[in-house]
Chains A and B, each alone.
Chain A
Amino acid sequence: MDYLQIANSAPMWIASGLAIGLVLFQAYIFAKKSYNTGKAIGLSDTQMKSALKGSMITSIGPSLVILTGLLSLLVTVGGPMAWMRLSFIGSVMFELMAVGFGAEAVGVNLGTDSMTQLAFANAVWTMILGSIGWIIFATLTADKMDRVQDRFLKGDKALLKIIPVAAMLGSFGSLVSGHLVALNKNTIAAITGGLIMAIVVPLAEKDKLKWLREWGLAIALFGGMIVAAIL
């Protein structure tokens, strides 16, 4: 039997569907609890609904990028695995690398050799074992990191507002720096995206332009993409 028939079989769809169901369930109960708690501590309905709408608009662009990754993964590991891995724990670059390592370990070189049942199974194992480190470590430590952070802050409340922004600047600084030093179209995209954001954010402070708060990031990221593609 061709491995893709197995990869696209009903039992595989069911196993993948269960995992995706879990992610949706978690998102639902966390969102419901957060909404109710938000109300209890004084966030208004309009504030939260507007935030939800903004995240929805923002999520579309990155999801399309993930979709193109899904389509490229689909060809090698079939629908169910591609669907599951990109909605659950994984990310595009990681999965492609895992499939490569998994197949290689049973002597199948992707791109030159054709995938076998065994290579497919080993790729599946590699994707799983290579990614559970994240979820295990996060699940073990999420509730304890609060205490570690509190001890570090020693009651200095102002620091609590500075550290998240510093962490964010550090992590997105490192994500963007690879594209900045590449000096190719990615560099143009990164700079244009940043520049549009620098114009849009102050503009969105004006009451007449409130809609920009929700659409700002989407405009910046598609703007950066279009400029890089055309130039």
Chain B
Amino acid sequence: MTQKRDVFEGDYLPFIVRYGKVTGWLGVLMSFGPALVLAVVYRIMPPTTAILTAFIAMASAVGVNWFVEPISYFPIVGVAGTYMAFTSGNISNLRIPAAAVAQRIARVEPGTPEGNIVATLGMAVSVLVNTLILTIGVLAGSTILARLPANVIDAFNYLLPSLFGAIFVQFALMKLKLAPIALGIALALTLMVNLGWFDFLPGRPTYLITLGAVFGTIALAVAMHKRETGRP
């Protein structure tokens, strides 16, 4: 048991943190590649005011998520998963489902060293599959789109809600008492946001739903656990 901790904390985590930082910062640099190509090769550079205007619009729409998402997903995916998920993107709709399925199949618990390792394996596979499908897709390009019947394309819109429902239930089955609480908070907050109760905040404050549901559920879960075990 202690040897297991030694391997995980003494060897695995330092390796992941070292490479995670290097690849993370390289990722920041490389994301500027296309903008650099436009500026240097084609001499197209938008005025700073235009860049700022658009940036401020984006920041008020999604800026809170830059902080909320890494914090909310950390307990699920761990250190390695955080580096990976935020380098590769498509987190809630692909990385987390892939990680969660891997954990369920290997019968390991989220939050443990085994859970973190298996989640990382699951995410790595999803990176490979996703890149492969997108590469084929982009090369075959719009010819695919033109050949698919319209009702098939429409049907794809239902994959995401179906995925969210299925993943929620997968975790609900692990904590039957907690699931209605989480869903109750989320539904209440969604209705409040839809009714415009938070319209004084910038953007459409859907991040409040995530924030409230994640931390509200964690707080209630901790309180329930303390009452059951009698710990202060």
- Compute how far the CA of A88 lies from the CA of B32 in the bound complex, rounded to whole angstroms: 12
CB-CB under 8 A from A29, the residues of chain B are 19
Name the contact of A221 in the complex, choosing from B30, B37, B138, B162 (C-beta under 8 A): B162
- Closest chain B CB from A212 CB (angstroms): 10
Name the contact of B71 in the complex, choosing from A15, A40, A145, A229 (C-beta under 8 A): A145
Number of A-B contacts (CB under 8 A): 580
Can you sample 8 A-B contacts with CB below 8 Å?
Answer: A51-B102, A55-B123, A63-B126, A135-B24, A169-B175, A176-B168, A186-B158, A225-B155
- On chain B, which size bracket covers the interface? 35 or more
Chain B 29-64 interface 0/1 with A at a Cβ cutoff of 8 Å (1 = within)? 011111111110110111000110111011101110
CB of A167 within 8 A of CB of B50, answer no
CB-CB under 8 A from B229, the residues of chain A are 158
User: Which of B42, B54, B113 has the largest count of A CB atoms less than 10 A from its CB?
Assistant: B54
CB of A137 within 8 A of CB of B67, answer yes
CB of B175 within 8 A of CB of A106, answer no
New A-B contacts (15) at CB < 8 Å, excluding given A31-B121, A165-B171, A193-B165:
A23-B27, A30-B84, A33-B16, A34-B118, A52-B125, A55-B98, A56-B128, A66-B134, A104-B54, A123-B54, A130-B58, A158-B229, A161-B109, A175-B92, A228-B161
Given contacts A90-B89, A170-B186, A185-B158, contact A54 B105 (CB under 8 A): yes
CB-CB under 8 A from A65, the residues of chain B are 93, 156, 159-160
CB-CB under 8 A from A33, the residues of chain B are 12, 15-16
B20 within 8 A of A: yes
CB-CB under 8 A from B169, the residues of chain A are 193-195, 197-198, 201
Q: Which residue from chain A places its CB closest to the CB of B216 in the assembled complex?
A: A170
CB-CB under 8 A from A222, the residues of chain B are 159, 162
- Compute how far the CA of A56 lies from the CA of B97 in the bound complex, rounded to whole angstroms: 11
CB of A187 within 8 A of CB of B161, answer yes
Q: Which residue from chain B places its CB closest to the CB of A31 in the assembled complex?
A: B124
